[in-house]
A and B are shown apart, each in its own frame.
Chain A
Amino acid sequence: MSIEVLLGAGVLAATLRLATPIALAALGGVITERSGVTNIALEGCMLMGAFFAIFAADKTGSLPIAILVGLVAGMALAGLHALAAITFRADQIVSGMALNILALGLTSYLDYELYGTTGTPADLPGVPTVDLGSLSAIPVLGGAFGHQSSILWVTFLLVIVLELFLFRTVPGLRLRAVGEHPRAAETVGIDVRRTRYWAVLASGALAALGGVYLSMAVAGSFTDGMTNGKGFIGLAAMIFGRWRPLGALVASLIFGYGDALSVSLQGVSIGDLRIPVQLLSTIPYVLTILAVAGFVGRSRPPAADGVPYESEGH
């Protein structure tokens, strides 16, 4: 087993690719939970983004429109969740789960009706990659970053933007206040419900972007249920990252690394022992548990997280 298999440019490049959709879902989770709403429908929002982007790309041939439609689809689903959770004060977990099933059923149904016999078309516009040119020559890191999807770079940007937004701007502070002390925030004049609505919609868009990445950039097609639980891994990454965008990114990268290893270690033997491929697939999950266990201290969600809010004189 060479060091290349563990730390080569190939593995690191794969890490980045695999981490991207998880990070986007995690960012969505951070925004909504920071505002005090639990949105586990992120998986569903991802799926909506994945399908409707392909659909729009097929109908219009335009990448920007496809991405936009994907984001809107994710936001629509998130909007339903916001309605249930904020206006009707429903149980947020059940609502989220119901919407996940709804998204799965709806996208699978439409996929079959529209593309059942032929499959999604092969000539859809692709998402541009960012070529770092001569920088790719840098050992290891150059190979890792040199040729990645533009959505990956957008994700990095979003992490920085959101980190700054939440912790260095006034609107961000307001959002966090709504999540920590909604009553106090309302007293100070912040519209709790409106803030939460925006946060949930934003989370839908972020998760949807993760889905768009999967269908448009990675696969170039749509298959039923293609998100395969990445939305939930994203939620785990959010908790692991302590509800901070940068933390969520780090957590996503750790998971992505484990996932990349499960591929690069296939066929590698240590002496006479070959690790069965099925067990290799457990690496990202075991790694995540170990990584979280390795950190000292507890993870604490925003204080009013998941609790429906009712304002005075409502």
Chain B
Amino acid sequence: MKRLLVLAFIFSILFTTSCDALSGLTGSSLKIGLVTDVGGLNDKSFNALANTGRLDAAKDFGVQTSVIESKKQEDYVPNLTTFAQQNYDLVIGVGFLMTNSVWKVAKQFPNVKFAIIDGAPADDAGKTENLPNVANLFFKEQEAGYLVGVIAATMAKDKVGKATHNTVCSMGGIPIPPVDHYIAGYQDAVKTVSPSTTILNGYSNDFVDQAKGKEVGLNHISKNCDILFQVAGGSGLGYIAAAKDKGVYAIGVDADQADVAPGVVITSALKRVNKAVYNTVKSVKDKAYKSGDNFFSIANDGIGYGKLDPIVPANAKAAAEQALTDIKSGKIVPKDTVQVKG
């Protein structure tokens, strides 16, 4: 008992003497805070990309930065508030789940700049209200879906390599807008480029369960699908695993997933969240911060398609490049509603 009292005593001494060590980041350089949504930093999707952007910015611009991973939706407001209370210069919220939370906190801290990835501040009634200290970083996922859809459709109709059945498919995590936009663009491209191609769609109803994702994939493959587009985070890796097992092709999402399964992943639908974060940090540093809607699309290199596997033929690449130009010029406007629900 005595030994423990001594220990506790020592602890409290050490504690009080380091009181100033806990005031968080100190110093004169900019402070950038990132709050992830409940998916966590290792979600192989938005949070991870945003984090990459943050770390790159920290390296290049010498800013100080911190991250808080949210565990429940209840945490968004206090997490954002924690950074705001400590006078961070920029607080970035990852995800559409946070639109109301950012609205609340941004209103209370008008001197702190915020950014939301994939959303705009929404008031308690659910209506969008742009605020002067919030930058809404929107991505046109349907454009990315369209690009990879062009590649998939070209390969399917020309029966390239193992894609012999003229059938393509996709799997979403859950049917929410950011997921469905990708799928909508994908399906739109396929219907435009190759109306004869069969389109399948499904959902794993989960962003973590790889076994489930794999089962959906195997199911689609049994229905002749040769090119599988995953839009389901961790669960989507299972979808890709199905393609790998059965020797067909897959398409990654958000980040370039060519390394997940070389020879299987023919390209990825890129959503350069990291670039958006990086640019926003830069804009704060350069005092060029722009609140309100900031669109990241093909036009400003926020959207693209990933590394092409050698199997992808030249005409598919050319078609994708053409689509890129056309979307940029406004000639093509990819649909954002899913047609084949599955």
Contact B209 A228 (CB under 8 A): yes
Contact A219 B200 (CB under 8 A): no
**B219 contacts chain A at the CB level, 8 A cutoff:** yes
Contact B260 A119 (CB under 8 A): yes
Stretch binding the partner chain, chosen from A64-72, A73-81, A109-117: A109-117
**B95 contacts chain A at the CB level, 8 A cutoff:** no
**B208 contacts chain A at the CB level, 8 A cutoff:** yes
Contact B42 A263 (CB under 8 A): no
Q: Name the residue among B200, B210, B216 with the largest chain A CB count within 10 angstroms.
A: B210
From A116, A214, A225, A267, give the contact of B200 (CB < 8 A): A267
Closest to B52 in A: A117
B247 to chain A, nearest CB (A): 13
Stretch binding the partner chain, chosen from A10-18, A86-94, A196-204, A298-306: A10-18
Chain A contacts of B52 at CB under 8 A?
117
Asked whether A266 and B216 contact (CB < 8 A) given A117-B52, A122-B261, A218-B241, the answer is yes
Contact B212 A259 (CB under 8 A): yes
Contact B219 A266 (CB under 8 A): yes
Of residues 99 through 114 on chain A, the ones whose CB sits less than 8 Å from some CB of chain B are 108, 111-112
Contact B42 A214 (CB under 8 A): no
Prevailing SS type, chain A contact patch: helix
Contact A218 B208 (CB under 8 A): no
- Alpha-carbon distance between A21 and B212 when the two chains are bound, in angstroms: 12
Asked whether A263 and B219 contact (CB < 8 A) given A119-B260, A122-B259, A224-B40, the answer is yes
How many pairs, one residue from A and one from B, have CB atoms within 8 Å of each other in the complex?
A: 96
Of residues 196 through 241 on chain A, the ones whose CB sits less than 8 Å from some CB of chain B are 214, 218-221, 223-226, 228
**B250 contacts chain A at the CB level, 8 A cutoff:** no
Closest to A20 in B: B211
Contact A226 B210 (CB under 8 A): yes
Chain B contacts of A122 at CB under 8 A?
259-262
Closest to A13 in B: B218
- Alpha-carbon distance between A119 and B43 when the two chains are bound, in angstroms: 10
From A225, A263, A266, A281, give the contact of B208 (CB < 8 A): A225
Contact A221 B260 (CB under 8 A): yes
**A278 contacts chain B at the CB level, 8 A cutoff:** yes
Chain A contacts of B203 at CB under 8 A?
266, 277
Chain B contacts of A10 at CB under 8 A?
218-219, 222
Chain B contacts of A266 at CB under 8 A?
202-203, 216, 219, 342
Residue-wise, chain A 1-42 has the 8 Å CB interface mask toward B (1 for contact) of 000000000100010011001000000000000000000000
Contact A14 B210 (CB under 8 A): no
Contact B214 A219 (CB under 8 A): yes
Closest to B255 in A: A119
**A134 contacts chain B at the CB level, 8 A cutoff:** no
**B237 contacts chain A at the CB level, 8 A cutoff:** yes
**B41 contacts chain A at the CB level, 8 A cutoff:** yes
Contact A111 B42 (CB under 8 A): yes
- Alpha-carbon distance between A267 and B219 when the two chains are bound, in angstroms: 11
Closest to A282 in B: B205
Q: Name the residue among A18, A21, A118, A266 with the largest chain B CB count within 10 angstroms.
A: A266
A82 to chain B, nearest CB (A): 26
- Alpha-carbon distance between A260 and B219 when the two chains are bound, in angstroms: 10
- Alpha-carbon distance between A112 and B206 when the two chains are bound, in angstroms: 21
